A and B are shown apart, each in its own frame.
Chain A
Amino acid sequence: MAISKSTQKARKKRQSNLPYLYLLPAFLIMGVITFYPLIYQVIISFTNFESKHLLLGLRSPELEFIGFKNYIDIFTAALPVENFNFFRVLTFNFWWAISNVFLHVPAGVLIATLLNTEGLWLKKIYRAAYILPVVVPPLVVATVWTNIFDERYGAMNQLLAIIGGFFGNPDPVYIRWFEDVKPPIPGFLPGAPLTLAYYAMMIANFWLGWPFMSVVATGALQSIPKDLYEAASIDGATGSQQFWNITVPLLRPAMIPAAVYGFTLSFNLFNFVFFMTGGGPARSTELLVTFAYNLVRNLRWYGVAAAFAVIIFIVALIVFLITNRITRATQNYQEAG
């Protein structure tokens, strides 16, 4: 009896160790490519790490630990960088993400609802067409839209000139979309003036962003039972009352996670912003990620960039926790029936 008990114990121990053995290779790889750089970054965020330290790294004799100076410099706009203010970038970054979501979600829902109309011709072709922007590489999109907003030859200014001509103003239009630093609507967003470049980016990103929302909404719309609309029409609901009382609340469980996803996507939309405005003019369209990239790529202030990255990480973590909460709070309505 005693013997069998002890062998049982040994077997149990062997079994409980085995999973760790299996996990080890993955853990080692993650350690090398994820955790080591992460910790390294946190360490150098407390130093004055620059290009000259790249060779010897942390063993470099001139490397100084400067405590929270990098962080303080970032928050107090003490960096010797023109037009840089952390809180302005942060405000703009949030506003950018929120305004995109608030534009894309309603547009996606509206267009999906219109395309869901019964008896609409060529429905499938429209649905295939609007998915196209999603599959075009952002670099191409940014290039095309940069050209559209070109001051002299761009389609946008020409379009505005035609519209102006229609109203009796034959002058050509030369709006400097990406250079003008004067905000067209002053004081619209306190702390972060929105330049024309922001509006140009909003237009371009609208083209890029609504189709995804529309795809999600289309799927959700098709899962709303038709007889709910019939019941509502007998109950006395007009078309718009049906939209607000049935379509909108029943789309919510699908659209909130999509909106959260859209928010995080816009929040870190590096490639599109970088290729289109590069954060300009005067850093007015800079996102946290594009500015971090600038610190490394152009200024080569690795220490500052590391501190900045840690800040972004914390901001992203907070955003993630909040959005996660929102997503989980979204309950799924079970169909009646």
Chain B
Amino acid sequence: MASVTFQNVFKKFGDLEIIKNLNIHVEDKEFLVLVGPSGCGKTTALRLLAGLEEITDGEIKIGERVVNDVAPKDRDIAMVFQSYALYPHLSVYDNMAFGLKLRKTPKEEIKKRVNDAAEILDITHLLDRKPRQLSGGQRQRVAVGRAIVREPKVFLFDEPLSNLDAKLRVQMRAEISKLHQRLQTTFIYVTHDQTEAMTMASRIAVINKGLLQQLDTPQALYDKPNNLFVAGFIGSPAMNFFSATLNVSDGKVLVETDSFKVQIPEALSAPYKNLGGKNIIFGIRPENIHDPEFAPPNIHGEKVSVKVDVTELMGNETFLYLMSGKNTFIARVDPRSKKRVGDDMQVIFDMDKFHIFDASTEEAVR
């Protein structure tokens, strides 16, 4: 049980700066997910914490102990690798017992811990098999089991689900969440999949180009993204963006794109009143664009004329790919919507749920 702290951490490979001034504090027993696109430095951050890479500058603490110069084996962590990294010549039992044997744990104790872990993960019947005799999902469980038996202070997961098929991924996602509740230990989990991040994390750190973009709870990230990157990265389908200018007249704030104008509701317009003429990026999530027939009541709706380009029927919802002038965007509407490809229609923007970003700094303006 321990907290984890990254304090002003830098990592360079030659001249390449992979991590720039990372500051994260992970509370004890927290489930923190590091998320970001490929190559953003999230895996490097995890490897720095594991001790598989040396940090260039800064401090990493596990609990109160600075571990910069501590060998991986002495950091009291366990890691689950993307490739699982199971020892192919050892049985499942020996794979899980390997770390304990090296630490000269008594045989009885090893047996108990391995059996307990196997039971939690439902792999007791596989203990005698070799990794090559297992399916992807089973290997995944063994890799997790190998981490559990060590009873570490911190669990590290490096994209553990990315080699599994979609269905298994959903299932394992739930199991890892359950495991976290059961073990009550700090979990640090790296993924490029924002769905995984949203579903499992107690807090998410969004990283891009080696920089921490935002660190917050999943809901806060979704509702109040700090900048354009976070807004675009969290949520699927992604938030729609429009280049626009703010127009303030008679105390009303209007967002003007090249094809439509929408008004910001009076109650929310205060931060924008002095920004008349400013170039901004206007953002709205697909589920906040409605088919007028099915629009919820009591919203500050603004009508926008569009043409339907593509429709995707998902059964429980329908995605409309819409065009307005040169702007293309997606609406996630009620499945009963009758709109089809080529139709001209009006959609309703729920103006209680918009986002505005500074066009030059890409930071949120609120």
Seen from chain A, the residues whose Cβ lies within 8 Å of a Cβ on chain B are 225, 227-228, 230-238, 241, 245-246, 249-250, 252, 333-337
Contact = CB atoms under 8 A, between A and B. Distances in A.
A325 to B, nearest CB: 20
The 8 closest A-B pairs by CB, nearest first: A235-B99, A334-B132, A236-B73, A336-B86, A231-B85, A336-B131, A333-B88, A227-B85
B81 A236 contact: no
Given A234-B73, A235-B102, A228 B132 contact: no
Given A235-B73, A235-B98, A336-B86, 6 more contacts: A228-B87, A230-B85, A231-B87, A234-B75, A236-B73, A337-B85
Nearest to A249: B89
Per DSSP, chain B at the interface is loop
Contacts of A337: 83-85, 139, 163
B356 interface: no
A246 B71 CA distance: 19
B198 interface: no
B238 interface: no
A245 B98 contact: yes
B78 interface: yes
9 contacts: A225-B85, A230-B72, A231-B79, A234-B73, A246-B87, A250-B89, A336-B131, A337-B83, A337-B163
A228 to B, nearest CB: 5
B131 A234 contact: no
Given A225-B83, A333-B89, A336-B84, A233 B52 contact: yes
Contacts, number: 80
B98 A232 contact: yes
A288 B98 CA distance: 47
B9 interface: no
Contacts of B131: 334, 336
Contacts of B201: none
Per DSSP, chain A at the interface is helix
Nearest to A333: B88
Contacts of A238: 73
Interface string B180-217: 00000000000000000000000000000000000000
Contacts of A237: 73, 98, 102
Contact of A250 (B72, B75, B88): B88
Nearest to A235: B99
B88 to A, nearest CB: 4
B74 to A, nearest CB: 8
Interface in B160-180: 163
Contact of B85 (A236, A241, A336): A336
Interface string B49-91: 0111000000000000000000111010111010111111100
Contact of A336 (B71, B73, B99, B139): B139
B99 A236 contact: yes
B85 A333 contact: no
A204 to B, nearest CB: 35
B103 interface: yes
A243 to B, nearest CB: 13
B88 A335 contact: yes
Contact of A333 (B50, B103, B132, B163): B132
B340 to A, nearest CB: 46
A232 to B, nearest CB: 7
B73, B75, B150: most-surrounded residue (chain A CB, <10 A): B73
B83 A227 contact: yes
B102 A241 contact: yes
Interface in B78-117: 78-79, 81, 83-89, 98-99, 102-103
Nearest to B130: A333
Contacts of B163: 337
Contacts of B130: 333
A230 B139 CA distance: 17
Given A241-B102, A245-B98, A246-B87, A230 B132 contact: no
A234 B103 contact: no
A234 B72 contact: yes
Contacts of B75: 234
A336 B129 CA distance: 12
B324 to A, nearest CB: 47
B274 to A, nearest CB: 54
Contact of B81 (A231, A241, A245, A249): A231
A234, A236, A237, A252: most-surrounded residue (chain B CB, <10 A): A234
